[in-house]
Amino acid sequence: MPQIPQSWDVQGILVNQPAYALLRPQVLTIYMQDYRTEGDPDHLLAELNIPLWKDANEQWWVNADDMVRKLQSLPGRIDGLAKLSIKRGIYRQPFCRVSATSIEKCHPETLRVTGPNDHSIEIVIEPLNHPPPPPPLITTTNSATSTSTKRHQSEEEDLASPAPSGRTKRRKPDESPETASSPPAIISPASATGFGVGGGSGGSSGFPSSGNGFLSPGGPYTLVQSPQSALPSSPIPSPSTYRPSMAESSPVSPSPVSEIKAADARRNAKNELAKSVVVPWLRLKFEREEGYAEFAKSKGRILTIHEALKGYRFAKAMIQKYNNAQTPPDLDGAPNRKITKVNIWQALDRQTSWGSDAETTLALVDKYGPGAPDENQKIVDMLNGKWGPDEREGSVLFLTHLKRIDAEHKTAREAAAAAAMAVVSAAGMA
């Protein structure tokens, strides 16, 4: 397998690499089969504008890290935990693992691309389970470690040699088993409840919080030896005068972690209910709509801009008709249930990222397309089939141009507003 070319100029062209052709970034079509859902796999497609190169044997290659990072930055990214593999005959070769917040370094670093004209690659997406939580860990400070070690050694000596006869000290009825000369070790929490949101100051000494805002139930905690002066000198109450404190007498409240798990279980149950009842009911409704058959056949195909916009508009019509509506009161298993966009995307057999892509594209076409208030000639040309020499018609590249033009228009509008304010300010000073 060839090494990744290291000498790229600012335009993405290979330089000082005689073994490789000098190439600008080209369109790479990624065909994806997602096996993370029940039943048949989802067939997805994405197009990237990314540098490709070929070796001395005329074989085309792509940098795997660049490809995955660019794919995850697009609306058609892979949502959730996933393991990515490429097909090699009847075998699958995993090369990357992704999550909602991270991407592992790919191995192998380069992937074979079909060529020479239609550059594409086929990827298999498989489920990736959550890693097991780390074992509980309690770290100690130096002073606590020293005290704990000495106490442990003393206990071992007591166990190893019996106490001399007649030297055993009898404990008084009101005396604690723990003597005052060896104060107890306490676990210092970040807050009074033992679980708190990270990022605060004051009582958070050595008590880190997890990334979700709650402290990990398994630690790590800091074992702190309380000073002698901090312990109360009052005698231990006798059984007749003892009164339990509020913390001892009140029932133990569930930990935030348990509440989160319970909320996740309830949410999963609702999702399963929607998937098993609401989504099939919605799909039956969609099948009666004009244009559904053509929309269903378009999945997994390379579409022209007009074909893609037609599918987007069909989905938009279903959103306008069913979003926030309720299921019938006599629907067995889900009566009077509110219908969400997620339910609609699932019934249309599309991912939520596809839905976001569709909504953004339609909104920007209405803003910069033919006859729009801010009509842009580049967008009009693309809708009329006029693309650049290095461009290939596709919905991903079309949306990229729309977002770029929208950002430029916003910057120009802000600059004009700032200039107008400067003129008004200068006139006021005069």
For 117-162, what is each residue's pLDDT tens digit? 678 899 999 987 655 455 555 444 444 444 444 445 544 444 444 4
Q: Who has greater pLDDT, 18 or 363?
A: 363
Last residue of a domain, one of 91, 126, 161: 126
Share above pLDDT 90 across residues of the chain, in percent, rounded to a whole number: 19
E strands within 170-283? 185-187, 221-225
Amino acid at the residue 236: I
Q: How confident is residue 348, by pLDDT bands cut at 50, 70 and 90?
A: very high
Q: What is the DSSP letter of 15?
A: -
How many domains does the chain divide into? 2
* Distance of alpha carbon 187 from alpha carbon 115, whole angstroms: 63
For residue 27, the model assigns a pLDDT of: 86
In the block, tokens 């979003």 appear at 323
312: in domain: yes
Q: Is residue 62 included in any domain, yes or no? A: yes
Q: Which alpha helices (DSSP H) does 298-394 contain, by range? A: 305-322, 341-347, 352-368, 377-383
* Residue from 61, 49, 127 nearest 94 by CA: 127
Give the domain-ending residue among 107, 126, 145: 126
Query: Residue 396: which of 411, 386, 382 has the closest Cα?
Result: 382
- Is residue 120 classed as helix, strand or coil in its secondary structure? strand
Q: What is the rounded average pLDDT of the residues 163-172?
A: 47
On whether residue 20 sits in a domain, the answer given is no
Share of the chain above pLDDT 70, in %: 62
Among 92, 126, 160, where does a domain finish? 126
Which of the two residues, 73 and 168, has the higher pLDDT score? 73
The mean pLDDT value of the chain amounts to 72
Question: What pLDDT is attached to residue 184?
Answer: 46
Per-residue pLDDT averaged across 91-97, rounded?
90
Taking Cα atoms as reference points, which of 202, 186, 193, 200 lies closest to residue 141? 186
∠ CA 399-401-403, rounded to 5°: 70
For residue 136, being part of any structural domain is answered with no
Q: Supply the pLDDT for residue 352.
A: 84
Look up the domain containing 41 and give its range. Answer: 26-126
Q: What is the pLDDT at residue 288?
A: 93
Residue 341 lies in a domain: yes
Indicate whether 163 belongs to any domain: no
pLDDT of residue 328: 92
Residue 201 — very low, low, confident or very high, per pLDDT cuts 50/70/90? very low
Q: Could you tell me the CATH number of the domain that includes residue 48?
A: 3.10.20
pLDDT at 309: 94
Predicted structure pTM score: 0.42
Structure tokens given for 190: 């970040």
pLDDT of residue 212: 41
- The type of residue at 196 is G
CB 5 within 8 A of CB 14: yes
pLDDT of residue 134: 55
**Cα-only R_g, the chain:** 33
Lookup: tokens for 265: 């279980």
Is there a domain that residue 198 lies in?
no
Residues contacting 366, CB < 8 A, separation 6+? 372
In a domain, 177, yes or no: no
